[in-house]
Structure 1
Amino acid sequence: MQTPQYLSPGDRVAIVSTARKITEKELDPALDLLKKWDLEAVLGKSIGAEANQFAGNDEIRAADLQWALNDPSVKAIWCARGGYGTVRIIDSLDFSAFKKNPKWIIGYSDITVLHSHIHKMGIETLHAQMPLNIEKRSETSRQSIREVLFGKEYSIAYASEESLNRPGRAKAQLVGGNLSILYSLCGSASAIDTLDKILFLEDLDEYLYHIDRMLQNLKRNGMLGHLAGLIVGGMSDMNDNSVPFGQTAEEIIREAVSEYDYPVCFNFPSGHIEDNRALVLGREVDLVITNNKITLSFI
């Protein structure tokens, strides 16, 4: 896998919205943060644009991301927010210049479309908190973005005595992102390849039976049977029917992979949660799960 060039003080970071609309005012905390990091923010034309719930129509959002991909003075692209909409523009993008001069693509949730699509090009991307609500996330999650972008040595470790964890160790490429998005990409040119890789999953505001349906789909597509390991992040604000499904999201996932023997951990600090740590997707990692601790080292 190819690692985009790390950032240096004074570098330009483009902020664009490939999905839902956002105002410039909502970006103030992120702009202050970039200034603190001695980076120059450049706002795309999708910021402040509006077409129903989108940050401008598909043409505006696609052109904005295309500009950021092509402009050699832009060293990283920070997607302003998620929501929905990136899949509507992915097939109209030309990645020729990007493949010759890779730059960091930063975001999560709906930005899983870009992570998955770009992974097939052999280029690393950064699954991390976006500008929207960054002031409401942990200081650790904010600093994790900086550590990766500036090429610092990086790992994640936390105490865990979660009974659903399956101890073990795995060394492999890290892939994944938002479960709903990965599910929606199945069968497309952007579908993720999980063979012999460590898969990361997270999701927000889904019905529990939807979680089960998506897991069954991934399983039937052969995406769960040959993993090196599985990391489950925040499964946040789940919904249930009047007749309860009977399992938590974590229990649904654990059951779906119960016949396999690779290591599995839950409640990993990444996703739609306050402590949303950065993950370098596409990079080889060393995952160690014991009865009381989880460690993920980026090699």
Structure 2
Amino acid sequence: MKVDDIARHDAKPAPTDHVRLVVTDMDGTLLTPEKQVARSSVEMIDRLRAAGVAVCLVSSRAPVGIERYHQALNLNTPYAAMNGAVVRDGQGKTLSTLTLPVEAVKATIDMLDVHEVDGWLFCGSDWIVKDETAGYVPHEQKVLGLAPIVTKDFGPWEDKVGKITGSSADYDLLGRLEGEIGQMLEGQASVACSAQYYLDITPLNANKGYALCEIGRQLGVEPHEIACLGDMQNDVPMFDIVGLSIAMGNATAEVASHAHFTTDTNDNEGWAKAVERWILPRVGGNAS
């Protein structure tokens, strides 16, 4: 870690000694690089459930990209999509939605176009692109299990956008745009990379910190009673407010500096190891 990262980590309050809820990121965290949930993680979710501790999913993904995992893991808990722009209950009923200001949408798309970054819109359950063969569109279609709406004009959707994603294989460019677009939309939107190749622009309050608090409110759990796990910059708003924060071993040093602990990577059972080492000892009831 750099000196600033060490200072940030050392300044964090001590972790909570009592966990009532676990909120987890998906890609790079709960999911392996092959987009699977490791058997060890499934076993830990079952142990948490047996101890009376709910597990909730929070992701930059659109709702459809979360639903099949939510069902496969037999979760009946609220979940948040698009970094909190959409929050749904355990049965899929929408509890809250947030949208970007139209001018912010237009300014962002213009900026992405200038830098030749592929821009996508997410509006509720709809995913809108201008070229279904470009860049990461085929990859995202496989991940989501959803075909995009293809259009040459984003105009009809500009007033209902929950998330804009800029996708590019130029990781350094997206890193620079994270700062530039963040500055341009200060006070209007949240801007953070959710992967090296994805830059997400969401409504101002649509960040994972907001999502975690909203889920906690639905379940009657305060942030200091929540443990969270994540790996990317968009997970930092969670790390900074919860009682127990755990970064994956594949997180950058800067992201990890916001967490209490760092576990193994997502391709080496890091999620399950974190639950067993740091979360279950802080859970009451039968966690054995």
**Fold shared by both chains (TM-score > 0.5):** no
Q: Counting helix residues as a fraction of each chain, which structure ranks higher?
A: 2
Alignment TM-score, normalising by the size of structure 2: 0.30
- Larger relative contact order (C-alpha < 8 A, sep ≥ 6)? 2
Alignment TM-score, normalising by the size of structure 1: 0.30
